[in-house]
A and B are shown apart, each in its own frame.
Chain A
Amino acid sequence: MNALLIAVFLPLAGALVLALVRSLALAGWLNLGFCAGSLAAAVWLALQILRGGDLTGDGFHVDAFNVYLVVLTALVGLTTAIFSRPYMAHVCRDGQVSEGRMRLYHSMFQGFLFTMLLALTTDNLGVLWVAVEGATLATVLLVSLYRTPESVEAAWKYFILCGVGIALALFGTVLVYFAAQHALADVAEGLSWSALYAGADRLHPTVMAIAFVFLLVGYGTKVGLVPLHNWLPDAHSEGPTPMSAVLSGLLLNVALYAVVRFKMLVDGALAATDKAAVAGHLMMGFGLLSFLVAGLFLHRQRDIKRLFSYSSIEHMGLMTFAFGIGGPLATFGGLLHMLVHSLTKSAIFITVGHATHIAGTQTIEHIRGMIRTQPAVGWGLLLGVAAIAGFPPFGVFTSEFLLLSATMQSWPWLTTALLFGLVVAFAGLFRHLHPMVYGKAPEGQQPVAANMLPVMAHLGLVLWLGIAIPVALSRWLDQATFLITGSHLL
């Protein structure tokens, strides 16, 4: 329990401390330090869970499913902090951001991590909602950090759309609580996920089905599911790059995590009725739609960060689809995909940060010849995109292959749609990528001081996962699969 409390509340302490620290250099290092501490505690927590099983109590619930996301969140938080320190210092020197706003940035970065970790570990569905809404509030000012008209517009859209979505999710939560009051002996436990899960078969099926629609639409807005995805490219492209990395790598995952948790409850409640798979079908529909639409949208992007945020929508769609199918194979694939997508996408956004720094713009047309100007950034971009597009040695290939097999098993016809979407997305990414990496560099383009360590670490991990998943990790994911679907894959 100590490890859990340290992992979750250290970022909160960080948010408070960093709000007071005036020195910019010190704040950067402190930010890094808090993230490192949080990661250490998260790893410690993971080891405890692996040895001792689930941890429930004091309003928290940690099992194999969320502990791996906790570690992932803390890890991506740390690597992004490593990248953010010199990058934001540079931004500040450029005069785009005042020092007061840098304090806000550092404080809210930690605040965001806190809400993410709280959302992951809490047992209370109401607190889950509060934390996810808190994540919006923490990041909305970061999206508008540069105060350009575009960034204000992006932040406004983000705020309004996510606010509306999350309000619908609260309505769903109220409905769940309503159902719980009629099913559980102890009404006070009506929002406790573990109590609800234990008594899921007694929950009123119709109420739960209606609630799930609201929850899917609500949290789905945060996942970036089409047609509620509009905020995502705007927020990613206009916010500072480290923010794009954590939004794509973490926030979307956490929202999807919430949807999956609720799906587990709904599946339990509907198991005995004739509409047992309705939650899964809804998720499959939304997921597939997002996957295909985002793939097509990749082709018409002119802004490099928008390009990759559409790629995020595409992959989130794929994961939603996977969890919608629901069997052990698909769920295992979905969990693995969550992991590798987070790692790869945050690596890509970090590289993109350097690339835009070199080119001085985010417009794809003007980013040219990266591999000539600065080979490390060029290679990082190339490998990152290769990984995210699903090239074989990388982990994304493994998870997508698992998903395709699972689809082949239960919905053979949909395999064509998936393959089509993958090809379209692949083409969309590479038609933009090729000139950016290999094109003729504009004259006078200078390399910048880039810290490629986080990128290397992430891509290295993804490569490792693609070649051989460590036994411990596969056991771990299998345990999570067992929690979600009720049967083991391995």
Chain B
Amino acid sequence: MNLMQLTLLEQAVFVLAALVLFLSFAMLAQARLLAGIHVFAWQGAVLAAATGLVAAGGAPHLFISAALTLALKALLIPWMLHRLVRRLELERHVEPLQHPALVLMAGAGLVIFSYWVVVPIERLELVTTRNILSLSLAVVLIGLLIMVTRRQAVTQVIGFMSMENGLFLAAVAATHGMPLVVELGVAFDVLVAAVLFGVFFLHINESIESLDVDRLNRLSAREDDT
């Protein structure tokens, strides 16, 4: 495939998709809690912009989904997280990454892996979408990596939500969005999940006086080792 065959609009979608991936990496490396939330908000905004561009390119129903993404992922959820972090007095919380270089390389490895996964999808006329699929899979997997490498409940939620961003990117770029019912349902689920996460922060904070999920280990001790 050659980029030159695409219109400028499509190229812009590509660039934005690549930026979403880049922001995932930034989230992966970010030690400060608040900065992580801001990066997440930016990712939501870039995603909304990409959705808007795809919509402008001939899929007007996507404008709704772009607005939804902007409202939810770039404004509402980051705002909620922000408020919670303030309420729990974690503004200055810094969680240095163990082995940052290793984690980042693992992230790069995931990008290559996701490319390898989608390479067999050839012979479809839409090769562009295949490439964006691999990017969005990489965003999903890096979200997973964030959840695995981080011990802080808030960062885990950010990882979770960035996984959702990857899924949205896949849906928007590869299939020009899902049917509206599904989009609305998914958005609703995400919203409810965000609210529940907020409730959980308070509960976890109450029960172990910290948001370090490593200390959630009572149940692992339940099983008999003999």
Binding site for B on A (CB under 8 A): 59, 124, 126-127, 129-130, 133-134, 137, 140-141, 144, 147-150, 152-157, 159-160, 163-164, 167-168, 170-171, 174-175, 177-178, 181-182, 188, 190-191, 204, 206-207, 210, 234, 237-238, 297, 300-303, 306
Contact = CB atoms under 8 A, between A and B. Distances in A.
Nearest to A362: B222
- Residue in A160, A207, A234 with the greatest tally of chain B CB atoms within 10 Å: A160
Interface string B191-226: 011001101100110011000010011110011111
Given A134-B189, A206-B121, 10 more contacts: A130-B189, A137-B196, A150-B219, A152-B216, A157-B219, A160-B147, A175-B133, A182-B126, A302-B224, A303-B222
Q: Chain A's interface: helix, strand, loop or mixed, by majority?
A: helix
A171 B174 CA distance: 11
17 contacts: A59-B181, A129-B186, A133-B189, A144-B203, A150-B219, A152-B200, A153-B216, A153-B217, A164-B147, A167-B167, A171-B170, A175-B133, A191-B178, A210-B121, A300-B224, A301-B224, A306-B222
A133 B193 CA distance: 9
Given A140-B196, A159-B196, A210-B120, A130 B182 contact: yes
B27 interface: no
B137 interface: yes
A253 to B, nearest CB: 21
Interface in B100-114: none
Contacts of A178: 129, 133, 174-175
Contacts of B147: 160, 164
Interface residues of B, number: 54
B167 A171 contact: yes
Given A130-B185, A177-B175, A238 B219 contact: yes
A210 B181 CA distance: 25
Given A150-B219, A156-B213, A210 B118 contact: yes
A232 to B, nearest CB: 12
B182 A126 contact: yes
Interface in B116-162: 117-118, 120-122, 124, 126, 129, 133, 136-137, 140, 143-144, 147, 153, 156, 160
A176 to B, nearest CB: 10
Contacts of A137: 189, 192-193, 196
B163 interface: yes
B181 A302 contact: no
B179 A188 contact: yes
Interface of B: 117-118, 120-122, 124, 126, 129, 133, 136-137, 140, 143-144, 147, 153, 156, 160, 163-164, 166-167, 170-171, 174-175, 178-179, 181-182, 185-186, 188-189, 192-193, 196-197, 199-200, 203-204, 207-208, 213, 216-219, 222-226
A174 B170 contact: yes
Given A137-B196, A171-B167, A210-B118, A234 B219 contact: yes
Nearest to A302: B224
A130 B120 contact: no
Nearest to A181: B175
Nearest to A153: B216
Contact of B204 (A156, A163, A167): A156
A167 B189 CA distance: 11
B156 A160 contact: yes
A71 B226 CA distance: 43
A427 to B, nearest CB: 15
B223 A301 contact: yes
Contacts of B217: 153
Contacts of B182: 124, 126-127, 129-130, 191
A150 B185 contact: no
Report, nearest first, the 4 A-B pairs whose CB atoms are least far apart: A126-B182, A130-B185, A149-B207, A153-B216
Contact of A126 (B136, B185, B216): B185
A300 B121 contact: no
Contacts of A134: 189, 192
A382 to B, nearest CB: 23
- Residue in A137, A168, A170 with the greatest tally of chain B CB atoms within 10 Å: A170
Contacts of B170: 171, 174-175
B186 A130 contact: yes
A215 B192 CA distance: 23
A153 B156 CA distance: 14
Contacts of A126: 178-179, 181-182, 185-186
B182 to A, nearest CB: 3
Contacts of B140: 167-168, 171
- Residue in A130, A174, A237 with the greatest tally of chain B CB atoms within 10 Å: A174
B193 A163 contact: yes
